[in-house]
Chains A and B, each alone.
Chain A
Amino acid sequence: MTTFKRLSGLATLAVVALALTLGGCAKPKTRYGDPGAVETVTNQFGSTDLQRLAEEMTQSMLQAPVIQSGNLPIVTVQEVRNKTSEYIDTRAITNRIRSSLQKSGRVRFAVDNADMQKQIEELKRQQSQYYDQEKAVQQGRMVGAGYRLSGEITSIVKETEDVKDVYYQLFLSLTNIQTGIEEWSDTKDIRKTTER
């Protein structure tokens, strides 16, 4: 008697559990969010980190004397080295800094390494017979940058069974290409802790 009761009880439990697992998959909802919102989904390098580092760096750079001088320095963006083990596209950071600086109207940017190939291709294309040579762009008129922006991002990750702590540090510097003098540099950091 007890056995049967126990069995049927367990069977009911099984059915309920099964129904729960099957019925549990409610349709996920998709909505638009605020791209500027603070994102703490995981402790990997995220959108808030990118925005924050870029904005803080821009603000710091705007106060550099070379840029404040109003001489519209020409800058080329070099690779920001990723020294972490995370796949951080540092170009996303430098692109944001670059567009903010450009909007400030204080800096101009020369074509960078990554875009050089495309630039040359277009320059050469216009030399071909298909173009009106009077209006085509001329070779040998590109303007070189006076300064280069470079840097690196590093991280320190500490992890135990219940806590994961990540520390990121972005270092950027602006160097006078002619003289090799570093005109400005700054570090900005972020610490994130996840408790499980």
Chain B
Amino acid sequence: MKVAPLFVALVAAALAAGCGTKKGFEKEGFAFGCPIGDQKVSSMSDLVKAKVAKEGSRSPDVEIEEIRCTTTGDLLKVDVVVYNDESDLERLMYKFRWADAEGMRAADEESWKPLLMYGNSRQTVTTIAPNSRARDFKFIVMGQE
């Protein structure tokens, strides 16, 4: 398996950073199924903070509620729940940025995908890693003018 050495590396990294097993987390170096490396993630909001980046001058008025990951085959699968907590319609765009185990870019930059959010509504954005080298990701959102 290709994953094994990587897994070892992640565990080693986690141990080196001195973070022990936390309640509710299934694997070392993972939170809610998502790779977190040596970051301290003790709650969903920590995970969201670690994985979501807002770019551009006009950051969208939405909340990223949840991020969950799993693997199908050897590809990382990600679900992101976006919540528009206001009554106004919100137009935003998003993309995923993929990194390999060493933090290098694992795939070409994705194109921006437009997303229409009705007021007070949730939407789940799902994606799958473009290849098996992609072990980590960032979810990037930007406001659409």
- A51 contacts the other chain (Cβ, under 8 Å)? yes
Q: How far is the CA of A38 from the CA of B143 in the complex (A)?
A: 11
**A100 and B130 within 8 A (CB):** yes
Chain B interface helix/strand/loop/mixed: loop
> How many of chain B's residues have a CB under 8 angstroms from any CB in A?
20
Knowing A36-B95, A63-B72, A68-B73, say if A104 contacts B131 (CB, 8 Å). yes
**B73 and A70 within 8 A (CB):** yes
B145–chain A nearest beta-carbon distance, Å: 10
The chain B residue sitting closest to A34, CB to CB, is B112
Interface residues of A in 89-130 (CB under 8 A from B): 100, 103-106
Q: How far is the CA of A51 from the CA of B127 in the complex (A)?
A: 15
**A36 and B111 within 8 A (CB):** yes
What residues on B are CB-neighbors of A55 within 8 Å?
Answer: 110-111, 113
What residues on B are CB-neighbors of A106 within 8 Å?
Answer: 131
How does the 8 Å CB contact mask read for B105-125 relative to A, with 1 for contact and 0 for none? 001111111100000000000
**B111 and A48 within 8 A (CB):** yes
- B132 contacts the other chain (Cβ, under 8 Å)? yes
**A62 and B93 within 8 A (CB):** no
- B144 contacts the other chain (Cβ, under 8 Å)? yes
- B12 contacts the other chain (Cβ, under 8 Å)? no
Q: How far is the CA of A105 from the CA of B129 in the complex (A)?
A: 12
Q: How far is the CA of A36 from the CA of B93 in the complex (A)?
A: 11
**A62 and B112 within 8 A (CB):** no
- B50 contacts the other chain (Cβ, under 8 Å)? no
**A35 and B73 within 8 A (CB):** no
**B131 and A52 within 8 A (CB):** no
**A58 and B130 within 8 A (CB):** yes
- B128 contacts the other chain (Cβ, under 8 Å)? yes
**B114 and A103 within 8 A (CB):** no
- A59 contacts the other chain (Cβ, under 8 Å)? yes
Knowing A48-B114, A51-B111, A103-B107, say if A62 contacts B128 (CB, 8 Å). yes
Q: How far is the CA of A105 from the CA of B133 in the complex (A)?
A: 10
**A36 and B128 within 8 A (CB):** no
Q: Give the top 4 A-B pairs by smallest Cβ distance, nearest first.
A: A36-B111, A51-B111, A68-B73, A104-B131
Name B residues whose Cβ lies closer than 8 Å to a Cβ of A. Answer: 72-73, 75, 77, 93, 95, 107-114, 127-128, 130-132, 144
Name A residues whose Cβ lies closer than 8 Å to a Cβ of B. Answer: 34-38, 48, 51-52, 55, 58-59, 62-63, 68, 70, 100, 103-106
Other A-B contacts than A52-B111, A106-B131, 19 sampled, CB-CB below 8 A, are A36-B110, A36-B111, A38-B114, A48-B112, A52-B113, A55-B113, A58-B130, A59-B127, A59-B130, A62-B130, A63-B75, A63-B128, A68-B72, A70-B73, A103-B107, A103-B108, A104-B131, A104-B132, A105-B131
